[in-house]
Amino acid sequence: MADEKQYDIVVVGGGPGGLTAGMYGARANMKTVVVERYQPGGQIANTAEVEDYPGFEHIAGAELAMKMADHARKFGLEVVSDEVVEIRSEGESRKVAVGAGGTTYVGKAMVVCTGGSPVLLHVPGEKEFAGKGVSYCAICDGAFFRGQVIAVVGGGDAAVEEAMFLTKFGSKVIVIHRRDRLRAQKVIQQRAFANPKLVFIWDSVVEKVNGDAKVRSLTLKNVKTGEHSTLEVGAVFVFIGFHPNTAMLPKEVAKNDRGYVITDFKMETSVPGIFACGDVRDQLVRQITNAVGDGTTAAMAAVYRIEKIGG
């Protein structure tokens, strides 16, 4: 018989939102588990430096994640490593998360903090050279390209911040953006324009990633002139957005037109007893602070639901 484990609150996803939800659940004396497929921390585990989390002027993302997990465990939170492949709502107060290995985590309430995944370029060569010069994580892979020319695709906060981080390693970092102005916040743009190792190629898209055993060049197209060119690079880092990880959710959970989970002010989804927090919800800004706030609300709303407090 498949392994079934009983909890009060099951949190799916161990990023800042999930760890916070787990902490508040455990602190409210609920038997609480966070089920995380990789290591706790989610995206911040791969973020070089965090400088906008109150109380920490500078902290490595992985260190902040570790601190959050340790802190939550002190209140009795259990953190397990498993990939949730299916979430079900079975009646009023039986929510089930099915792990890839067959374990089911049963809770009276569930908090889904599954975040999202990077958007891919979907051009020839991208898949073929993934891990051989095509990357979506500067902190993971930047150091492999010391002294080389590094390309970054995108014009949002992520692209520009990661490009700046990559200047630690690259002889030059070239940001390729499809328009003639950045989407990134002004304060981030100012820092980027002042960085002598950062160069911008405007109005251009990557049409192909070329190489042999590794990436050697990119075929670019200028979207205004239609001209093609070849840019020699040692690596290309893609930061063109993000999509929410919702595949494991029951179809009854309502989503908006961009696929993000819709919640009310309690972070409760359209399925009673299933809450959502962090990047899996649509956010104006996807910051650690948002996720942490959502996690607090979701956990406490779950506690109130279980204890039948409030409406």
297: tokens are 């609300």
Q: Which of 99, 116, 154, 234 binds ligand NAP (CB under 6 A)?
A: 154
Q: Which of 33, 111, 233, 240 binds ligand NAP (CB under 6 A)?
A: 240
Q: Examine the residue annotation and report whether 113 is marked as an active-site residue of this protein.
A: no
In the complex, the smallest distance separating the C-beta of residue 45 from ligand NAP, rounded to whole angstroms, is 15
Scan residues 195-234 and list those touching ligand NAP (CB under 6 A).
205
Nearer to ligand NAP, 24 or 53 (CB): 53
Per CB under 6 A, 294 contacts ligand NAP = no
Q: Examine the residue annotation and report whether 137 is marked as an active-site residue of this protein.
A: yes
Residue nearest to ligand NAP (CB): 156
Residues in the interface with ligand NAP (CB under 6 A) total 18
Nearer to ligand NAP, 83 or 203 (CB): 203
In the complex, the smallest distance separating the C-beta of residue 104 from ligand NAP, rounded to whole angstroms, is 33
Nearer to ligand NAP, 94 or 243 (CB): 243
Which positions touch ligand NAP (CB under 6 A)?
153-159, 161, 178-179, 183, 205, 239-242, 285-286
